[in-house]
Amino acid sequence: MRYAVQVQYIGKNYAGSQIQFRNGKEIETPTIQGELEKAISTLIKCDKNIADNNRRYKTVFSGRTDRGVNSIGQVVHFDTDEPIVASKFIYQLNEILPKDISVSGLKEVDKNFHAQKSARSRYYRYIFINRKCKNAFDGDLMRVKFDINIERMQKALNYLLGEHDFSSFKSSGTLNPSTVCFIKSAECKKDGDKVIIDIVGNRFLYNMVRTIVGTLLEIEGHNRSAEYMKQVLEARDRRKAGQTVSPYGLTLIEVTY
């Protein structure tokens, strides 16, 4: 049987969502996947009285999130031989998981369902503070001191809509050679001192959202025209884009199927 679970987490204490390997061996570093697999395996062994202590239930994530990135809508699937009572399983799993990881839903899915390959779109949100002085309640959010022109930022984001080669916005760590993505929507707004950027696409390259935000700040900080975003996009050259901004403030909101 295959189950899909919705996972929420605060990423600051983890080396990303995915278990990491070096020379074919798992690296002993805390990850969301590692904690989730450990908790699922512990729960199922206890519930089903499984004697094999080395058995670990493998999970597949809808996509990778980096160190410091949060999620309220990560989707993960795993297989098990026995049926699961969702309400009981969710409660018990949350009792086992660390305090900065939780599950909010679980359902049985078809065997052909794949958390990553079946996904049709991902929705990310980036939030930063636009204020000169710090505030004790800003937390880990990045603070931008210069004034932001929301209208210009929106015009710049509009150039990203549709299907494009996003080579200019990928980091060198991108494993997938495909650089073409389809951006369904890209919007920004200001709520008090917070600037909120929402981007929905079929897929995202490694650090793509954070580099898009960095390019927006390049435009704003140097008073460039919104068309500069188009020039960066068409260049297909990472050196033309802005910096990759802090992961704090980036959240995976939703994955649709």
The pLDDT score that the predictor gives to residue 18 is 92
pLDDT band at 48 (very low <50, low <70, confident <90, very high): low
pLDDT digits (tens, 9 = 90+) for 32-43: 999 999 999 999
pLDDT (0 to 100) of residue 185: 98
CA gap 175, 63 in Å, rounded: 13
Domains 2-109 and 121-256 in one fold: yes
Task: Give me the pLDDT at residue 24, please.
Answer: 77
pTM, entire model: 0.92
pLDDT at position 172 is 72
pLDDT at residue 49, rounded to an integer: 52
The identity of residue 37, as a single letter, is: E
Cα-to-chain-centroid distance, residue 122: 8
pLDDT band at 176 (very low <50, low <70, confident <90, very high): low
**Residue 104 CB neighbour total at 10 angstroms:** 12
Q: Where are the domains of the chain?
A: 2-109, 121-256
For residue range 118-141, list pLDDT tens digits in order. 999 999 999 999 999 999 999 999
Residues 181, 202: Cα–Cα separation, whole Å: 7
Across the chain, the runs of DSSP E, i.e. the strands, are: 2-9, 21-22, 25-26, 59-61, 70-79, 101-109, 121-130, 143-144, 162-165, 180-191, 194-201, 250-256
**pLDDT of residue 25 exceeding 60:** yes
Q: Among candidates 202, 62, 63, which has minimal Cα distance to 121?
A: 202
The reply to whether 66 belongs to the active site is yes
CATH number of 2-109: 3.30.70.580
Q: What is the pLDDT of residues 72-113, one digit of tens each?
A: 999 999 999 889 999 999 999 999 999 999 999 999 999 999
Q: Choose the catalytic residue: 47, 66, 110, 193.
A: 66
Q: Tell me the DSSP string of 149-166.
A: -HHHHHHHHHTT-EEEE-
Burial of 201 (0-12, 13-18, 19+ CB in 10 A): buried
CATH C-level class of 121-256: alpha beta
**Per-residue pLDDT for 53 more than 70?**
no
